[in-house]
A = this chain, B = another copy of it.
């Protein structure tokens, strides 16, 4: 893929240098908007508006939506008012709303000034909902039908309004009070008889969400209920917008990235890595590194406390990393499994005891396996004494046990307490398990070796 883009990029740059704009236009019109946008994201401030103007109106709008916000900003700065107006009115209102959220205030003013009054009203409707809510990702451009309509009436209405609505694949049915009462797919309409009435062919059991619902929850409903569109209603069940599956996919992708980042102790940010400055990256990482570094102090205190034991048995120090790492890895395995299960609603708090019981048995099995291997290695290769080997293997088993237990209980408690369980991923589990494993180690060592 990388090579293809690079080659295309070279071709485009050559064509620009040669001013072969007709040829360039011919190439661009055969491409997908997302691919053109990927190309445009690499173009310089000088070439970008030049090449953008080659695109036919609809392709231009579709490409614009797919571009990075920095490049969008550059383009808008180069646009005449007429050009801006053309792009803004060609876009779907949810895309304009998303664009506005990324742009600085002066650009926002220009955009709103160029939007026609109805578009502006709809944009403001979307912008009033909190970020990350269903309302903020919905579009207000949809076709609604009435229960009394015949199929012919409905198709006529769709033909009238369809051009300005983001999808007509699914149409919602509302009553006199704009309340959502049913859903009918275009497929049902096409396959129905001309004189059938909507109320007889619609499905009355509609999955819908409130405007205030969290966007990640909304996105997950698409997978759960196999949807391509989801209606958004207000507190009185009045239909105010729809969310389409392409936006849900973007939300899911973003949410997954955020989860990965949180699991690696990074504060999520939504700019792509290569666009982020060194300072931005540092800011998203340093608070957690500091916090975790300070937490590791406790582990150091434990070692200090058992300084005398270590002086007598310096050998014991050599196994600290192995014990800490194995504990950390065992705990992470469990915590990540639980966190993902909670996120997919495969696991619920009420499953706590089933999970704990399962993890206890897995921990015993894994602990014994690791201890047996380790015992063999300690006796055959390291040739430590029997008692030392015994101390290490007993610690190993106990550590795995404690780690797996911590790894399943902490994320569940975090969620129960209203936190994102993701914070209880590897870094924190590891820090906690480190301290616990050393406590266990020295406790067992002092008792068995009589230090």
Query: Which residues from chain A sit less than 8 Å from chain B, CB to CB?
Result: 1-2, 6, 29-34, 155, 158-159, 162-163, 167-169, 186-187, 190-191, 204-205, 207, 222-228, 245-246, 249-250, 252-253, 256-257, 259-261, 263-266, 272-274, 278-279, 281-282, 285-286, 288-290, 292-294, 296-297, 299-301, 303-304, 307, 310-311, 314-315, 317-322, 324-326, 328-330, 332-333, 335-341, 344-351, 354-355, 358, 361-362, 365-366, 369-370, 373-374, 377, 400, 426-427, 430-431, 434, 438
Contact = CB atoms under 8 A, between A and B. Distances in A.
Identical chains in the assembly? 2
Contacts of A246: 222-223, 226-228
A34 B225 contact: yes
B332 A427 contact: yes
B341 A273 contact: yes
A290 B326 CA distance: 9
Nearest to A2: B348
Contacts of A296: 321-322, 325-326
A309 to B, nearest CB: 10
10 contacts: A29-B205, A159-B190, A162-B191, A168-B186, A253-B344, A265-B332, A273-B347, A286-B365, A289-B333, A292-B329
A210 B373 CA distance: 47
A286 B190 contact: no
B274 A373 contact: no
A430 B225 contact: no
B190 A158 contact: yes
